[in-house]
Structure 1
Amino acid sequence: MANSEFGYVRNFEQPDALSLSNWIVVRIDGRGFTKLCKKYDFAKPNDRRALDLMNAAASEVVKAFVDVVLAYGQSDEYSFIFHESAALFDRRSAKLATSIATAFTAEYCMQWSSFFPDQPLVRPWPTFDGRCVCYPKRKILRDYISWRQADCHINNLYNTTFWSMVLKGGMSPTEAEHALKGTVSANKNEILFSRFGINYNNEPLIYKKGTVIYRSYEGDAVTNGESGEARVADPTSKTQMEKERKRKLKAVIAVEHVNLIGEAFWEAHPYVLATKRK
């Protein structure tokens, strides 16, 4: 950047580098999506086209940002996870959040016609905002992912019951909301089965579990021979970092709807949240 008498204004910029050795989550959310759902008449309680569009956009973001080790999404939100050793944009919060949010927004708008061919996208365009949150331990990061998946289940069970009562049971939204006030999961499952013949256990996993996106390698990553714990390449070695980047570019982007609260997924793919070398 050229120096001039006006260069002093750079001093007003605030440093926003995120702490080292912390996992970074960039979480994006749709802005005004309640209005957007009404505008394009999304199906209730879930519109599979809208979810598939979210997943397609997220897959492209994961492809574009090789530092993203995993992404989890549900409804109109997605969480993109950067490894604790990630150095992209010098870990600057604003750069990470805006880069992910704008890339996702662009993909969402560009791919819209593939999922809604009979509903042209018009202004105001769908947009997503983003924020960065740091988690100092892998366990806390796992708890964050579990929190978002638990939220997916709770919201979907409520919405499935609510809209069944409205669309199939002939109740008004106000009546359905009042009837569900104070109910627990068992009550909602009973309402769905006894009144509408719906076994919630048989609902599609994409609605109940959300979507996880990660890189899948042939045979999966090799683990440490002594401890069995997966480890990533030495972040201080430029040669190893370049080899790792190329390996990620060749990986298959896997899109699945599975339980992330339990251990099965993480035991099957230990490299996803692998620890860095000491």
Structure 2
Amino acid sequence: MCAKYGFEKPNDRRALDLMNTAAKAVVSELPDITLAYGVSDEYSLPVSSRDGRGQRLISCPRWTWPDSILSKLVTTVVSTFTANYVYSWPTCFPGTPLSTPLPTFDGRAVCYPTVQNLRDYLSWRQADCHINNLYNTAFWALVQQGDLDNTEASKTLDGTVASEKNEILFSKFGINYNREPEMYKKGSVIFRDVSPEESTSPTSSGRANKLWQYELADPKSHDVAKTVDDLAEPVQQSKTQTEKDRKRRAKAKILVDHLDIIKDEFWDRRPWILSNKPGRIPKET
């Protein structure tokens, strides 16, 4: 597709925005998805497990879920993603119509036994995003601005460390890698802006409008990953409460951002992502 539709190198903002649009639609349509993380043409979408103890993840090796559940999960996510990708193409690529063969995607599923395992996987993906983007930025600068062919550019970068790639970019092309767009360096994170308390505010029609408000908490008061992993038994909920939680997640605002998900701050400030329950957002320090 890159060659067929002339995607820009090393990053095509239009193509990345299209991936984010499709992934956001999946998160919106499937309330059990708690988070989505995307780099280039790949997205990982953690899904809350039925018993509240693990996370099912699209886009990695399978663990112990029955084949029937895994197959349905993967086909639902992949088909929803592909449909929205094709549907949204004209918005991101106006004047460039799709032609056959149309874009398609595949997927696979895994169950990570602990929340910390899931975080480790997502941290690896974001670290890999930075490593690959730094290399690609330097490589394409050498090709596009340094008049090297692909082989020569590859040899120039062979064996170099991050600081040397940064030096090549700055000294030869005046590119400060630190000023590159955050989406290119960190990837895209899609999550629900869920908050714990329900309140009401009047609308223009005079009716009460339900809102979900944050409750500020001391950032040192909790360790979300440890708390979730330490649950000996899943929280038992009635069908009514479970359905209310699903509706709340479905109505929550969905954000697309480019944040550091390796450090604890992102997770500690949004405890509901890992616990799949309403939580408290820490106070600013």
Shift of 1:68: 0.3
Match of residue 265 from structure 1: 266
Shift of 1:86: 6.1
The unaligned stretches of length 5 or more in structure 1 are 1-35
Q: Are 2:116 and 1:150 equivalent residues in the alignment?
A: no
- The counterpart of 1:61, out of the listed 26, 37, 40, is 26
Shift of 1:85: 3.1
* C-alpha contact 1:156 1:207 (8 A) present in aligned 2: yes
Match of residue 188 from structure 2: 211
Q: Secondary structure of 2:160's partner?
A: coil
Aligned CA-pair RMSD:
2.5
Q: Structure 1 stretches (4+) deviating beyond 2 angstroms?
A: 84-91, 217-223, 227-236
Match of residue 71 from structure 2: 94
* C-alpha contact 2:34 2:276 (8 A) present in aligned 1: no
1:256-275 deviations in Å (ceiling 9; x for gaps):
00000011111111111017
The unaligned stretches of length 5 or more in structure 2 are 57-64, 195-211, 229-233, 278-285
Q: 2:7 corresponds to which letter in structure 1?
A: F
Could you tell me how far apart the structure 1 residues matched to 2:269 and 2:182 are? 19
* C-alpha contact 2:222 2:268 (8 A) present in aligned 1: no
Could you tell me how far apart the structure 2 residues matched to 1:234 and 1:77 are? 33
Shift of 1:222: 8.1
* C-alpha contact 1:234 1:241 (8 A) present in aligned 2: no
Q: Are 2:36 and 1:71 equivalent residues in the alignment?
A: yes
Q: Secondary structure of 1:100's partner?
A: helix
Q: 1:44 corresponds to which letter in structure 2?
A: K
| TM norm structure 2 | 0.78
1:236-258 deviations in Å (ceiling 9; x for gaps):
42111011011112100011000
Quick one: structure 1 residues 229 and 185, their matched pair in 2 at CA, closer, same or farther if it must change by over 3 Å? closer
* C-alpha contact 2:223 2:268 (8 A) present in aligned 1: no
Could you tell me how far apart the structure 1 residues matched to 2:74 and 2:266 are? 27
* C-alpha contact 1:85 1:235 (8 A) present in aligned 2: no
Could you tell me how far apart the structure 1 residues matched to 2:131 and 2:69 are? 34
Q: Are 2:7 and 1:51 equivalent residues in the alignment?
A: no
Number of equivalences = 240
Match of residue 37 from structure 1: 2
1:95-141 deviations in Å (ceiling 9; x for gaps):
11111111101100110000001110000011000000111011110
* C-alpha contact 1:221 1:271 (8 A) present in aligned 2: no
Q: Secondary structure of 2:254's partner?
A: strand
